[in-house]
Amino acid sequence: MDVLTAASDAFFIIIEPSRMMFLLLGVGIGLLVGILPGISGVAGMALLLPFTYDMDQYTAMAFLLGLGSVTTTSDVLTSILFGVPGHASAQATVLEGYPMAKRGEAGRALSVSYMAAMVGGLIGAVILGVTIPLLRPVMLYVGSPELLAAALFGISMVSALSGSAPLRGLAAAGIGVLFAMVGADPQTGTLRWTMDTLFLWDGLPLLGVALGLFALPELCELAIGRTSVSKVPNQDLKAGMIQGVKDVFQNWWLAVRCSSIGAILGAVPGIGAAVIGWLAYAHALRTEKGASKTFGKGDVRGLVASESSNNAKEGGHLIPTIAFGVPSGASMAILLGAFLIHGLVPGPEMLTRNLDVTYAMVWSVVLANILGCAACYAFSGYFAKLTLLRYTLILPSVLVIVYIGAYQDSRDWGDFYTLLAFGVLGWIMKQLRWPRPPLILGFVLGEVIERYMFISIGRYGWDWLNPMTHPIVTILLVMAIVGFARAFMSNVRAEGGARTMMGGFGAPHFAKADIFPAALIVLLVIMLVQAMPWAFGAKIVPLFIGGITLFALVLSLTAQVFKKPKVARVLTARQLSGEDPEPEEEMDERIHMDIAVDHGSIPKREVIRRAVIFLGWIVSFMASIGLIGFLPSVPLFVIGYMKIEGQERWKLSIIMGTVLLVFVWLVFHQILAVTWPGSYLGDLIPAAKIIPSV
């Protein structure tokens, strides 16, 4: 009865007009923050925190949670419309939403995302409200062994995210884990693969890696195709929005399951937002009928899984924050700062004396999700029409925002280099049908696995593997082993059984595509050789993971070289020269969990030429930033690209460049106070330093 009374009182406190006004303001700011790639809710909450000093406890929490609850609702705009993940948690959304936009279903994809996000947010809030008084003893039981086992179970999801090519997926995940270990080892201080670069001491930045792998390749494909995102004119956006609502309710049980996954995993410190979306997506891939054939091609069920879990995790994040004062992420750490400002102490007081404040936070999450969903529906019809614009009107502006988003991680020139390097890697992987999701999953979980493994061994020895003392660890490890085994068994069945698979080898046949795994093997050998002299604590995990990855790469390349081709290929002289596209039989027919490559009738040689031109524009943009500064480079790049690449009118090009410059200057320079990277001109002319944009 005390809980019900507190919940009822909190509801009437929150719906008071003055507090609703601040809640609505927070929602509006959160939606705007979510649209900008790389600008997470952390920046928004940090920006709003000083404005809460004169507010009461209820209003301050409503204001901040209004923003934090909806940033993952609006970040689907760039993910679906342009294939650019708004945040790390929206990467799985790209796999289904962008193909739908390309075939003229942008309105439907946006509608599915908004409704699934609202359902997930509501379920996450309900789980938060119901479980806070109950989960305290459970959370106290969870230690580093359980968190390590959870991370290992998460990495086993590569079996679902690799399609029917588990060796490629395992290799990609292993490489991701090794990339996560770049930097100073937290145990011994050993510098691992830093290449004598100070920037890499703190490791590779997540935003640069994620945007490079998933954003730049899609922008490159847009530049290669030289068309609008969607080739379907006269889209019935209203019908698509209505159908999207129906899709979510037709898959209501999937939405409930994935929302629960998001809320539960969100309550576990160390399991980041990027991981939760992929795990829910992998769950849908394994459990939904026929998903293995349709996921990655624009299946609404993948959107339901990803977006419902993304928004539900916000409710889960609040559980350890409120109950123990342990933030599940950077945004929750800022919320803890708000607790201190307003005299709130996480722990028992939030469940007793301040129970009404706790349930005011629950109601804030509920109302924010409803208001955010309604606002997105109101304006999505206009945003969906962006997919019909010429690529020269969209691509340069989106590319500038992507670079700004990547720069927010470390605010160092290394962010740009990371973005470019992983952009090239992501494009090559996409062309050769190597799955990118396992790589980013391994990168996110790599540091978690290593940290909790050392803590577990240092605290418990090897007793943490004892099923009698740590039963949760045993269950999760068994589930991880089963996950890997299922992937290999499915590959064996796809090949017609073990006997057929082992007997299908013949004389070696090499192709250009074999250069990529061979190059990865060489890179891996170099990395392992460099790791040999390190201290034992610094090299044990890299050598173990690297050995498994090297074995998977060698096995995959061996099978690729010695496996007898299923279809004999006879290429004409024009196809050998690259003037005509090669026949479809050359493509790898295995299930591929990524956005399909579709160049239509464009010859392969022309595809490569256009990709090199796009790379040249990126390098030119970076060179301009290094020479004259970021802000002056924005209009020059936009105007130059539109005029030279697209032959656009001077007037339109200048207007677009000027508008984008004003937007970047106002939002990032004035409001967010971004410190732009240094430039040659700024260092050469001392007077120029008084102009921060140079």
Residue with tokens 């409930």: 256
In a domain, 320, yes or no: yes
Same domain, 241 and 373: yes
Give the model's confidence band at 327: pLDDT under 50 very low, under 70 low, under 90 confident, else very high.
low
Q: What is the pLDDT of residue 416?
A: 92
The contacts of residue 361 (CB under 8 Å, 6+ apart) are 61, 65, 318, 322
In a domain, 281, yes or no: yes
Lowest mean pLDDT among 13-22, 71-80, 90-99, 495-504: 495-504
Same domain, 491 and 393: yes
For the chain, the domain total comes to 2
Lowest mean pLDDT among 53-57, 566-570, 620-624: 566-570
What is the mean pLDDT of the segment spanning 153-161?
68
Give the C-alpha separation, 106 to 310, whole Å: 20
Same domain, 199 and 303: yes
Same domain, 523 and 618: no
What are the φ and ψ backbone dihedral angles of 424, each rounded to 5 degrees? -65, -45
In a domain, 581, yes or no: no
Domain of residue 658, residue span:
604-690
Q: What is the pLDDT of residue 584?
A: 40
Burial class (CB in 10 A: 0-12, 13-18, 19+), 35: middle
Give the model's confidence band at 375: pLDDT under 50 very low, under 70 low, under 90 confident, else very high.
confident
Cα angle for residues 513, 574, 572 (degrees, 5° grid): 80
Nearest to 41 by CA among 18, 82, 73: 73
Distances (CA, A) of 560 to 334, 410, 516, 517, 557: 50, 39, 12, 10, 5
Instruction: For residue 560, give the H/E element and its range.
Output: helix 536-562
Q: What is the pLDDT of residue 613?
A: 92
Burial class (CB in 10 A: 0-12, 13-18, 19+), 333: middle
What is the mean pLDDT of the segment spanning 98-120?
86
What is the mean pLDDT of the segment spanning 200-204?
88
pLDDT at 231 over 70: no
Q: What is the pLDDT of residue 637?
A: 93
In a domain, 580, yes or no: no
Percentage of the residues of the chain whose pLDDT score is greater than 90: 11
Same domain, 469 and 340: yes
Q: What is the pLDDT of residue 232?
A: 59
What is the mean pLDDT of the segment spanning 131-153?
70
CA atoms within 13 A on the CB side of 649: 3
In a domain, 538, yes or no: no
Give the C-alpha separation, 321 to 335, whole Å: 8
Percentage of the residues of the chain whose pLDDT score is greater than 70: 80
- The distance of Cα 365 from the centroid of its chain, to the nearest Å, equals 22
Q: What is the pLDDT of residue 469?
A: 74
Lowest mean pLDDT among 274-278, 434-438, 627-631: 274-278
pLDDT at 213 over 80: yes
Q: What is the pLDDT of residue 109?
A: 87
Same domain, 435 and 517: yes
Domain boundary among 477, 501, 531: 531
Q: What is the pLDDT of residue 407?
A: 86
Same domain, 524 and 633: no
What is the mean pLDDT of the segment spanning 538-566?
81
- The distance of Cα 691 from the centroid of its chain, to the nearest Å, equals 35
Bigger pLDDT: 655 vs 479: 655
Domain boundary among 510, 531, 552: 531
Lowest mean pLDDT among 226-235, 335-344, 363-372: 226-235
Instruction: For residue 210, give the H/E element and its range.
Output: helix 206-214
In a domain, 575, yes or no: no
Same domain, 342 and 480: yes
In a domain, 54, yes or no: yes
Tokens representing residue 604 in the block: 């392969």
Domain boundary among 515, 531, 547: 531
pLDDT at 329 over 90: no
pLDDT at 635 over 90: yes
What is the mean pLDDT of the segment spanning 578-589?
43
Q: What is the pLDDT of residue 590?
A: 47
pLDDT at 619 over 90: yes
Same domain, 613 and 517: no
Same domain, 493 and 639: no
CB 693 within 8 A of CB 629: yes
Q: What is the pLDDT of residue 585?
A: 37
What is the mean pLDDT of the segment spanning 680-689?
63
Give the C-alpha separation, 596 to 297, whole Å: 7
Q: Which amino acid is at 305?
A: A
Give the C-alpha separation, 300 to 258, whole Å: 14
What is the mean pLDDT of the segment spanning 621-643?
91
Alpha helices (runs of H) in 267-412, residue ranges in sequence order: 273-287, 291-294, 300-324, 330-341, 348-351, 355-384, 391-407
Q: pLDDT tens-digit profile of 266-320?
A: 877 666 666 788 788 888 888 888 877 788 788 889 889 888 888 888 788 887 7
Terminus-to-terminus CA distance in the chain, angstroms?
62
What is the mean pLDDT of the segment spanning 474-487?
78
Nearest to 139 by CA among 313, 312, 319, 266: 319
* Pairing verdict, β 183-184 and 191-192: antiparallel
Same domain, 527 and 611: no
Same domain, 209 and 300: yes
In a domain, 574, yes or no: no
